[in-house]
DNA sequence: TAGATTGTTAATCGATTAACAATC
DNA sequence: TAGATTGTTAATCGATTAACAATC
């Protein structure tokens, strides 16, 4: 496979381009988009757009622009979104619960994003066994088995900070490869796992600087 | 005020340092922390930590490190977290609702972060008038009045993509200065408003690349 | 053809890392 | 004093921007 080691800064912008392209495709499938328009709608300069697209091997036509559908498909392909991606959530408290509902709702409406929530886990016996939109909350004890049984390699982590490192080590054992971490703590990534930290509080504090 | 134009990359790391320092302070107030330990716990190199802290004018003692409490206070001061920060949420659907509960819960437990949710807005008459933890959902029509009455300058935007640009223009009129945007669209920032975009879907797609 | 826009190269800019004298 | 760690300077690295010949 031709993963030519594209820098992460570029990868990070691809979902944003893709989001814009989906919108353009709805309005005018079969049409073309320039780096100027795509950049405008993505918050990126036209030069940057061309540099990024050229880095991933997407090609446009001089004088015209990029074919919307082809470019969209290219991006989906690179981001692995042309296959079904199964996701589990660990930690179904306030936040995990909300994220679960959000994903279910969003990817129900959404056309064909192959992002599918397949499992929920918690270690609190009081909520294990409950259901969210038909998905049962499993005991964290059975995590490893469920992961291979259901075949998900991506996990959303919404447990308390104190438990997060322990849980991520379990994820590693279970063959998980990517983790979106909502716990307010920086985790040491075990070998073979990619972690992205995200924290509403951190975002708010960052913004607070600009008040 | 000494806002010496600190680059945003640095500002972005400050809340993370602060988060670590709060933890350290609980365990050993009055103690000192080295750039090595702080970096370790923040996912940043020691050199970077020292560069960042020096940029904001924080000082440590050679051979010892940085005083935990003093550094924490310095960070809070720079991030404006030594004053009360009032926040409103616009759009109380699935996501806005979850964010509201999350903030209320988190800043109840939290010691003394002066981040306070003071208002909720929506334009759907069916939910206007409802309450979340004692905070009423107001009609978006009265936004501008409420903003100045309650004195919040920061807003969390959780409306559908189609409405986001319109709403942010209203925010501008109402004197809002900072917006955390959850709508899956890049917004043109009106003069005087700082916008940070955040989108769970974008984060998941970004991670999907590494599967 | 004339006008528009790509793809790429070179120039610029800024951020990270390395190194080490100063200092507790 | 000896050992540790800061604060800063210089070196490196990488990302963004500008510019423009090639091409539709």
Same domain? For B90 and B74 the reply is: no
Mutate to test the interface with A, among B13, B15, B175 (most CBs of A within 10 A): B15
pLDDT of residue A108: 75
Q: What digits encode the pLDDT tens for the residues B93-149?
A: 999 999 999 999 887 765 567 889 999 999 999 999 999 999 999 999 999 999 999
Strand partners for B67: B32
Q: What is the CATH number of the domain that holds B18?
A: 1.10.10.10
Task: Tell me the residue range of the domain where A60 lies.
Answer: 3-78
What's the total number of domains in chain B? 2
Backbone φ and ψ of B115, nearest 5°: -110, 120
Residues of chain A found within 8 Å of residue B155, distances taken between Cβ atoms: none
Q: Which residues touch A29 (CB under 8 Å, ≥6 apart)? A: A68, A69
Please state, in angstroms and rounded to a whole number, the distance separating the CA atoms of residues B89 and B110: 20
What is the value of pTM for the model shown?
Answer: 0.94
The answer to whether residue A180 neighbours chain B at the CB level (below 8 Å) is yes
Which of A202, A200, A208 minimizes the C-alpha distance to B16?
A202
**With contact defined as beta carbons under 8 Å apart, do B207 and A178 qualify?**
yes
User: And the tokens for A123?
Assistant: 């270690």
Which residue carries 């849980």 as its tokens? A167
Asked if A101 and A200 sit in the same domain, the reply is yes
**Which residues, numbered 154 to 173 in chain B, qualify as contacts with chain A under a Cβ-Cβ cut-off of 8 Å?**
154, 156
Does some domain include residue B211? no
Q: Residue A102 and residue B81: Cβ atoms within 8 Å?
A: no
Closest residue by Cα to residue B140 from B117, B157, B153, B154: B157
Structural domain contains residue A211: no
Distance in Å, residue B128 CA to nucleotide D5 C1': 57
Q: Are residues A175 and A120 in the same domain?
A: yes
Q: What is the CATH number of the domain that holds B167?
A: 3.40.50.720
CA of B45 vs C1' of C19, distance in Å? 15
Together in a domain, A136 and A34? no
pLDDT digits (tens, 9 = 90+) for A29-80: 999 999 999 999 999 999 999 999 999 999 999 999 999 999 999 999 999 9
- Alpha carbons A7 and A201: distance in angstroms, whole number: 27
Assigned domain for B210 exists:
no
User: Would you say residue A119 lies in a domain?
Assistant: yes
Of A78, A105, A133, the last residue of a domain is A78
Percent of chain A with pLDDT over 70: 96
B153, B198, B209 member nearest A79 (Cβ): B209
Question: Within a domain: residue B7?
Answer: yes
Residue nearest to nucleotide C15 (CA to C1'): B9
Residues A89 and A73 in one domain: no
* Claim to verify: residue B56 and residue B146 sit in the same structural domain: no
């Amino acid at each position: 496979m031709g993963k030519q080691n594209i820098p992460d800064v570029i990868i990070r912008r691809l979902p944003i381009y893709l989001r814009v392209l989906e919108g353009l495709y709805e309005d005018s499938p079969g049409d073309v988009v320039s780096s100027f328009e795509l950049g405008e709608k993505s918050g990126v300069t036209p030069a940057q757009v061309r540099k990024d697209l050229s880095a991933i091997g997407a090609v446009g036509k001089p004088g015209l622009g990029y074919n919307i559908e082809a470019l969209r498909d290219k991006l989906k392909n690179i981001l692995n979104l042309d296959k079904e991606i199964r996701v589990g959530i660990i930690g179904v408290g306030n936040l995990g619960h909300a994220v679960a509902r959000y994903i279910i709702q969003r990817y129900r409406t959404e056309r064909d994003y192959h992002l599918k929530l397949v499992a929920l886990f918690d270690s609190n016996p009081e909520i294990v066994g409950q259901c969210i939109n038909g998905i049962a909350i499993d005991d964290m004890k059975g995590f490893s088995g469920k992961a291979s049984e259901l075949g998900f390699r991506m996990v959303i982590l919404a447990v308390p900070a104190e438990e997060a490192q322990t849980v991520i080590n379990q994820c590693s054992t279970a063959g998980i490869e990517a983790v979106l971490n909502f716990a307010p703590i920086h985790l040491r990534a075990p070998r073979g796992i990619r972690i992205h930290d995200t924290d509403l509080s951190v975002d708010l504090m960052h913004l607070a600087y600009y008040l």
